[in-house]
Amino acid sequence: MTGELSPIDKAKFVAAKRAADFVEDGMRVGLGTGSTAAWLVRCLGEMVRDEGLKFKGVPTSTRTAELAREVGIEVISLDEAKWLDLTIDGADEFDTDLNLIKGGGGALLQEKIVATASDQMVVITDAGKEVETLGAFPLPVEVIPFGWQTTHALIEETLISMDVLGRSATLRMNGDRPYITDEGNHILDLHLQRIGNPRQLALVMNQMPGVVENGLFIDICDTVVIGYGDGRVEVRDINEGTVEHDRLDFVETDNLFTDLTD
């Protein structure tokens, strides 16, 4: 129940609830991965059930697909959709230009493919994710398993010439084994502390053999919906240059808050 939610979870919930209003009948919508995106899927499931909302969702991970089906959302593949009206996803960090770091949940490759195949990307987040300069959150880089240690060494060597403070990279683990993405790859987390030129770093990372994709989302996000623990919501549209403020009341909804495991 909402009364049991932490302030951060309340912030994620109101951001997701507000962003759900962007979804209209007949849309093809990319559904993100992570704790905030899970709130969105739950909110959209309620709208499908209670308001008759009809849309098709394209999940960015197997766990998002499972949750979407569980709450009654029609799930299709990106190949079936071909192009999307909208993608709504979370972020690990965002700056004033709405550049993002994503991939903390391990789904950065599918998330970036889906987001760039959309007319609009809306990011839902809590206020704590906003930073002046990207880089405090480790930057995920998805790499193929073959020769990953060589790729790891190449990345650390290349970082010497980049505008960053830290230069170490660690293999993401799942217990005592390497974390495996939905595409069967590994993730290296780059501990950079500060990224002075995100655009340059993103381009350089993706030119390396063995690197599949990086978690820098540059010029992809159009709108950010920021939630606060007291119910306030801020909506920033970088294309229109507008900032809107709203407040959402918490409504006790058993169906929405029961068994939310993400």
pLDDT at 2: 47
Q: Are residues 30 and 125 in the same domain?
A: yes
What's the whole-number mean pLDDT along residues 79-85? Answer: 98
Annotated ligand binding at 91? The verdict is yes
Q: Is the pLDDT of residue 91 over 60?
A: yes
Q: Is the pLDDT of residue 220 over 60?
A: yes
pLDDT at 167: 96
Annotated ligand binding at 35? The verdict is yes
Q: Is the pLDDT of residue 5 over 90?
A: no
Q: Are residues 110 and 226 in the same domain?
A: yes
pLDDT at 249: 80
Q: Which of 70, 74, 80, 111 is catalytic?
A: 111
Express each pLDDT in 101-159 by its tens digit.
Answer: 999 999 999 999 999 999 999 999 999 999 999 999 999 999 999 999 999 999 999 99
Q: Are residues 45 and 122 in the same domain?
A: yes
Annotated ligand binding at 60? The verdict is no
pLDDT at 236: 98
What's the whole-number mean pLDDT along residues 225-231? Answer: 96
The range of the structural domain enclosing residue 87 comes to: 2-129+219-257
Annotated ligand binding at 129? The verdict is yes
Q: Are residues 83 and 205 in the same domain?
A: no
Share of the chain above pLDDT 70, in %: 94
Q: Are residues 105 and 233 in the same domain?
A: yes
Express each pLDDT in 151-198 by its tens digit.
Answer: 999 999 999 999 999 999 999 999 999 999 999 999 999 999 999 999
Q: Residue 191: give its domain's CATH number.
A: 3.30.70.260
pTM over 0.85: yes
Clarify whether 4 is annotated catalytic. no
Pairwise pLDDT comparison (1 vs 121), residue with the higher score: 121
Q: Are residues 166 and 242 in the same domain?
A: no
| DSSP-assigned letters across all residues of the chain | -GGG--HHHHHHHHHHHHHGGG--TT-EEEE--SHHHHHHHHHHHHHHHHH----EEEESSHHHHHHHHHTT-EE--HHHH-SBSEEEE--SEE-TT--EE--TTS-HHHHHHHHHTBS-EEEEEEGGGB-SSS-SSPEEEEE-STTHHHHHHHHHHHHTTSSBS--EEEE-EETTEE---TTS-EEEEEE-S-BS-HHHHHHHHHTSTTEEEESEE-S---EEEEE-TTSEEEEEETTTTEEEEEE------HHHHTT---
Q: Are residues 11 and 106 in the same domain?
A: yes
pLDDT at 250: 66
Q: Are residues 72 and 187 in the same domain?
A: no
Q: How many domains does the chain have?
A: 2
Annotated ligand binding at 56? The verdict is no
Domain assignment present for 187: yes
Q: Is the pLDDT of residue 259 over 90?
A: no
pLDDT at 204: 98
pLDDT at 1: 39
